[in-house]
Amino acid sequence: MAHPDDAELWAGGTIARHVSDGGTAVIAVPHHDAVRNAEATAGARLLGADLYLMEQLSVSTAATVLLEVRPDVLITHPTSDIHPEHRQCAEAVLRALPDVVISTGHPQRAYHSDGYNNLDQNGRPLDLPTIIDVSAHWPTKIAALRAHTSQPILDHFGPMAEAIGALHGRRINATHAEAFRPMPILGRLPDAAHL
């Protein structure tokens, strides 16, 4: 992800659910300053994930992370995200994927996350057909998001997360959900309706 609070904001409930089901998770973000890095560490810990701090975000660092971690499932930003750094992150990951997948077979599935207010850079709703019920893990997601005290969580990101989580939840008759769009890896899309 592009920023220390992005994993919590866009996939925190899904990460917490995966870890509580016995899986492991790694959140990879670029190094920021000491405060943001400490917040990233605290947020990842609350979700039960490990943190991987990259010196910078580039195709080569994305490839390095993917080669070292070898995730089964990858989540990154949409390439049409409103935030330019989110788009740059997604493009770096997409450019790194083919060679990494050919050499390791991982990741086996990849997804784009939600974006600000569920909109793309043209103001259209994001197409996110894979919806994960995170109702039981919502308090963990919010606690991890609130670990980012240097950011406007209470006034901005928290209410937005609540609105988006409730929106996706209503789509599957749940209290809260997170939504994703599968992306092809070497021309193949995942066939599962879950991450």
**How does the average pLDDT of the chain come out, rounded?**
95
How far apart CA 80 and CA 93 sit, in angstroms, is: 14
What confidence score (pLDDT) does residue 10 get?
Answer: 98
Residue 191 placed within a domain:
no
Residue 116 placed within a domain:
yes
Closest CA to 92 of 124, 117, 116, 56: 56
What confidence score (pLDDT) does residue 115 get?
Answer: 96
pLDDT at residue 24 tops 60:
yes
Residue 193 placed within a domain:
no
CATH of the domain at 137: 3.40.50.10320
The phi, psi pair for 72, rounded to 5°, reads: -75, -35
Chain segment 51-72, per-residue pLDDT in tens? 999 999 999 999 999 999 999 9
DSSP label at residue 70: -
Residue 72 placed within a domain:
yes
Number of residues that make up the chain? 195
For range 25-42, the mean pLDDT: 97
Residue 78 placed within a domain:
yes
How far apart CA 27 and CA 165 sit, in angstroms, is: 20
pLDDT at residue 195 tops 80:
no
Residue 42 placed within a domain:
yes
In this structure, are residues 111 and 181 in contact, taking their beta carbons and an 8 Å threshold?
A: yes
For range 12-25, the mean pLDDT: 97
Helix (H, G, I), strand (E, B) or coil at 29: strand
For range 169-187, the mean pLDDT: 95
pLDDT tier at 77, thresholds 50, 70, 90: very high
Q: Which residue is listed with tokens 């810990």?
A: 45
pLDDT tier at 187, thresholds 50, 70, 90: confident
Chain segment 105-136, per-residue pLDDT in tens? 999 999 999 999 999 999 999 999 999 999 99
How far apart CA 185 and CA 132 sit, in angstroms, is: 21
pLDDT tier at 14, thresholds 50, 70, 90: very high
81, 82, 133 from 88: Cα distances, Å: 9, 11, 28
pLDDT tier at 193, thresholds 50, 70, 90: low
pLDDT at residue 194 tops 80:
no
What confidence score (pLDDT) does residue 16 get?
Answer: 98
Residue 188 placed within a domain:
no
21, 67, 153 from 161: Cα distances, Å: 23, 31, 9
What confidence score (pLDDT) does residue 191 get?
Answer: 66
Residue 192 placed within a domain:
no
What confidence score (pLDDT) does residue 188 get?
Answer: 82
**Number of separate domains in the chain:** 1
Supply the range of the domain harboring residue 129: 6-183
